[in-house]
Structure 1
């Protein structure tokens, strides 16, 4: 028998979450599938989201893989090109590319083909990662408009606080002021803005985390938003034992039993992608009942509290996150975000999709 851990990918949940995005926005949808579709598998996710008008990712090789698999939608490289050598591939496979820096504009000047590139000009409206600062925007826009290699321009920015109380108003106003005189498609809204700020939608929206069934908000659950979890990470109990008061569990003995307890060991650890820093008390389901982790997560195993779960035994199913246990709950307990948990799933975990 194989180790009991697996990740189940619910493709119907992906399609449901795409429908939720459409109910909120009439814009064209650019589904964000970077990081191997947030750990869910690029090709299987793209197929399930085949009704989206576009896909966004980082690596030109992944973009080419989608083209060669038959996807004809707009495919956007979110960080653009990293060397001039990528430009012929971008043109050959009809990819769209972000341009966010003068360095990329300089590389574009060395590219000889005419009217071959669809570019997205990224404007820094306050995120301060990538993008042209306001003073650079007019010159960058004029250069792209007159550049012989450029066929089409889309304007874009990225919100830093769409999922928080501060919202998008300041960045949205800055973007509108900077682009008011330009006739070009626009793209601003991530998942949080798509769901909460209709005024930010423009021609393209870029949902990411919501497509995978997780809420972008701390104060609103995925279920409240109509989203369904796509990834369920599950495993099994491989050992059960009784411990007495004072016994310690796991490396460094971080958990000490305060009374007689029944505990289980689960075949899942940080080598599978479960967060090592998840503390005692991180929620898990055993036979569908909510309980908690105990002690330090090790490479291949973690401890769980079986007290009060009368039918728990070796072989009992354990849900680490997903159906019945929102990934956001686990992430919050572990002091991280749902994105990290899903993206961290390692290659040794078998994936079943249906």
Structure 2
């Protein structure tokens, strides 16, 4: 059986780690892309101590409201149309404004004074060069919005926060700090700041400002290149498992799977696991990729290499080092969770944990721990 087990207690633990790292800041917890593949419905109850949630699309915001989330929702790409801006007002959603059309909609259609949409996250492009106004544009936009009655949070996004010593980090921090100071001194001292994503929370504690915006860190993956999830005291929020459905011994010099990519150097005991890229396990992994086979009688785990090509519905693993007395058929196999960690699997696949978590499909059975 293919199974995705979500662990809300782990998410709450990870949120508490964020709050310890940034005790003076409010927390906008990112739940975009179906809570990084974990499922918004499963995740929201674990985030009750967050001050708000962040989503990428209005559809995601509406889903959160329908699930009963009544705190702040931040639409991190803002409204896509004038009609969507009006819908944001109706649903009390706070929007990012990052270019002139969104600014125009906000100035032409001002929400009621008590609406959450009166709080605008004004995006300043400090070096990521995706969304946001330049320095002159953000100051002009802030002045117009403030005069119209909006509350402002200046925000930007790091391009390289995972690498503490990357030179662009210091440049982005300085640009953000300078413009925030100008806004607070020339327009209003009530203007707030939000600079740090997950990696920024870990690497730049002196620049947390009023709001932090954790994402991947909530789900138990390390957001930085020089510390593991374990070193950051994070707990994996998703266990991905499957089952051994067949056993065989492959003779020396015989190949396994499509393309006969893996050739047995000697007679090798193998197991077929009922999972593949159709479930979200990466199709291409290197020779260091492994899974953990669980002995149900002792609960001991055995690392076993993934061999041959990953197919849509199955993978083959080398079980020759598992003790002969372990009953392998129907045994549980951990694809990622505590070991291997999803960060490890991502490294073996030449990608990042964000992608693997977001790409898990709906075919595996979903459970909550």
- Per the shorter chain, which TM-score range? over 0.9
Structure 1 unmatched ranges of 5 or more: none
SS in 1 for 2:101: helix
**Matches of residues 37-48 of structure 1 in structure 2 within 5 Å?**
37-48=35-46
With 276-285 and 257-266 compared, the bigger mean Cα shift is at 276-285
Contact 1:280 1:295 in 2 (8 A): no
**Matches of residues 330-345 of structure 1 in structure 2 within 5 Å?**
330-345=345-360
Distance in 1 between the 2:128 and 2:339 partners? 35
SS in 2 for 1:146: helix
Length, aligned pairs only: 349
**Matches of residues 1-16 of structure 1 in structure 2 within 5 Å?**
4-16=1-13
Residue 28 (1) aligns with residue 26 (2): yes
Alignment match, 2:203: 196
SS in 2 for 1:124: coil
Q: What's the CA shift for 1:111?
A: 2.4
Alignment match, 1:289: 302
**Matches of residues 110-259 of structure 1 in structure 2 within 5 Å?**
110-111=108-109, 113=111, 115=113, 116=115, 117-147=118-148, 150-164=149-163, 165-166=165-166, 168-182=169-183, 183=189, 184-259=191-266
TM-score by length of 1: 0.95
- Pairing partner for 2:64 from 60, 63, 66: 66
Distance in 1 between the 2:332 and 2:172 partners? 46
Contact 1:39 1:342 in 2 (8 A): yes
SS in 2 for 1:180: helix
Q: What's the CA shift for 1:231?
A: 0.1
Q: Give CA deviations for 1:306-335 in whole Å, capped at 9, x if unaligned.
A: 110122522111100012321100000110
Contact 1:279 1:294 in 2 (8 A): no
SS in 2 for 1:15: helix
- Pairing partner for 1:309 from 290, 303, 322: 322
Distance in 1 between the 2:333 and 2:68 partners? 38
Distance in 1 between the 2:110 and 2:346 partners? 48
Contact 1:279 1:296 in 2 (8 A): no
- Pairing partner for 2:96 from 95, 98, 102: 98
Distance in 1 between the 2:251 and 2:105 partners? 67
Cα RMSD over matched residues?
1.5
SS in 1 for 2:182: coil
Contact 2:281 2:360 in 1 (8 A): yes
Contact 2:3 2:367 in 1 (8 A): yes
Residue 277 (1) aligns with residue 284 (2): yes
